[in-house]
């Protein structure tokens, strides 16, 4: 599963990749890569072409694939963000695998967490000292997040101290998503929060996505991992905090 997820990720970053390039990247035979591409095409995640494959951009990558990618980086980011949450605050977590890591690292004794993500809600529900407020609605296809008019109505009656957002891509002028489904909901989430952070691993920087969700002025800071070029991080108009990834010896 991990190699399949990394193949999809590589195609989303590079576009076309040849069978030989992928075989060299993952140190497997070209026959193995061709079988991988056949399976991924059957799942509508890639499209095979002569000698290689390209991404299916209109298709949302399944959540379980996303969770396989950049795990060490997401763990470091989740820990760093959770450490910046203060006791007694009300914190909103939108959906995503990086925010799931934020939830996993919350060990506060007095905290309220608001979320529209089923997996994050399940994680928080296990923590007896954290109060959970779950935002209902309709389940968004290919994800664990709720959205729609019910979600909007429920959020409109809330106020939170901090909102923490995931991102599909991060560019110099803001945070972008691959689809437009959640834009209205995310902007409402920001409007009810006193301050906001975004969490995104370093692979999300410099990619392209169609829909701008927020400008950088919407955030107090962003948190990523230490694989991002520090010079590049310094060029953003807000602080970009780089969490140290614990790597095996």
Q: Which of 14-23's residues contact partners 24+ apart within 8 Å by CB, and which partners?
A: 15/54, 15/55, 16/49, 16/52, 16/53, 16/54, 17/52, 17/53, 18/51, 18/52, 19/51, 19/52, 19/53, 20/51, 21/52, 22/52, 22/53
Read off the pLDDT band of 2 (50, 70, 90): confident
For the question of whether the overall pTM of this predicted structure is more than 0.85, the answer is: no
Q: Alpha helices, DSSP H only, in the chain?
A: 2-14, 19-26, 30-42, 63-68, 71-83, 97-104, 118-125, 149-156, 183-191, 230-234
Predicted confidence (pLDDT) per residue in 24-70, tens digit: 888 889 889 898 888 888 877 788 888 888 887 544 555 555 666 67
106-117 burial by CB neighbour count: b if 16+ within 10 A, else e? bebeebbbbbbb
Predicted confidence (pLDDT) per residue in 165-181, tens digit: 999 899 998 999 888 88
Residue 33, both tokens: 């890569």
Beta strand 90-93 with 111-115 is: parallel
Phi, psi dihedral angles at 112 (to 5 degrees)? -120, 130
Dist CA 133 CA 182 (whole Å): 19
Predicted confidence (pLDDT) per residue in 177-189, tens digit: 888 889 999 999 9
């Amino acid at each position: 599963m991990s190699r399949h997820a990394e193949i999809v990720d590589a195609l989303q970053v590079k576009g076309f990749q040849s069978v030989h390039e992928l075989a060299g990247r993952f140190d497997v035979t070209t026959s193995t890569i061709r079988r991988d591409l056949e399976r991924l095409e059957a799942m509508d995640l890639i499209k095979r072409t002569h000698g290689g494959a390209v991404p299916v951009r209109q298709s949302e990558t399944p959540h379980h694939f996303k969770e396989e990618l950049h795990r060490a980086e997401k763990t470091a980011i989740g820990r760093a963000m959770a450490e910046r949450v203060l006791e007694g605050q009300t914190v909103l977590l939108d959906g995503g695998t990086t925010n799931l890591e934020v939830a996993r690292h919350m060990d506060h004794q007095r905290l309220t967490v608001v979320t529209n993500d089923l997996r994050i809600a399940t994680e928080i529900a296990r923590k007896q000292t954290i109060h959970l407020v779950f935002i209902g609605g309709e389940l968004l296809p290919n994800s664990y997040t709720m959205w729609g008019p019910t979600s909007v109505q429920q959020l409109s009656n809330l106020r939170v101290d901090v909102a923490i957002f995931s991102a599909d891509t991060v560019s110099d002028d803001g945070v972008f998503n691959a689809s437009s489904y959640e834009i209205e909901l995310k902007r409402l989430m920001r409007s009810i929060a006193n301050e906001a952070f975004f969490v995104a691993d370093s692979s999300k920087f410099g990619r392209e996505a169609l829909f701008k969700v927020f400008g950088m002025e919407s955030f107090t800071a962003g948190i990523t991992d230490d694989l991002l070029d520090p010079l590049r991080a310094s060029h953003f108009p807000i602080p970009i905090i780089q969490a140290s990834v614990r790597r095996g010896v």
